Amino acid sequence: MPHYTAKVYVTLKPSILDPQGRTVERALSHLEHDNVSGVRIGKYIELSLQGEHAEVEAQLKDIVGNVLSNPIMEDARWELTEA
């Protein structure tokens, strides 16, 4: 049975304020990195899965949409590669 590695990226939707990103941006400014702006904080998750590609893809879609992200506030995307 094939093995896959999934890399999942979860970020806040552009319309949602990002207080963590704003805090990091201010800290960078205080450290004289004045050319940095638009900092957004997100999540990166790696998963190992096994099974047929179509089944794994469907399972990953369910996991990302129902467990790893909040679709109301967050956007999520993933990369699935054979391990």
pLDDT of res. 60: 98
Residue found by looking up tokens 């998750």 in the block: 45
What is the spatial order of strands in the sheet that 42-50 belongs to? Answer: 42-50, 3-12, 74-82
In this prediction, residue 54 has a pLDDT band, given cuts at 50, 70 and 90, of: very high
Instruction: For residue range 36-51, list pLDDT tens digits in order.
Output: 999 999 999 999 999 9
Domains and CATH numbers, the chain: 3-82 (3.30.1280.10)
Cβ–Cβ < 8 Å for 40, 18 = yes
- What are residue 32's phi and psi, to 5 degrees? 70, 30
pLDDT band at 3 (very low <50, low <70, confident <90, very high): very high
Supply 16's token pair.
Answer: 């949602």
pLDDT band at 10; cut points 50, 70, 90: very high
Question: What pTM value is reported for the model?
Answer: 0.89
Cβ–Cβ < 8 Å for 5, 44: no
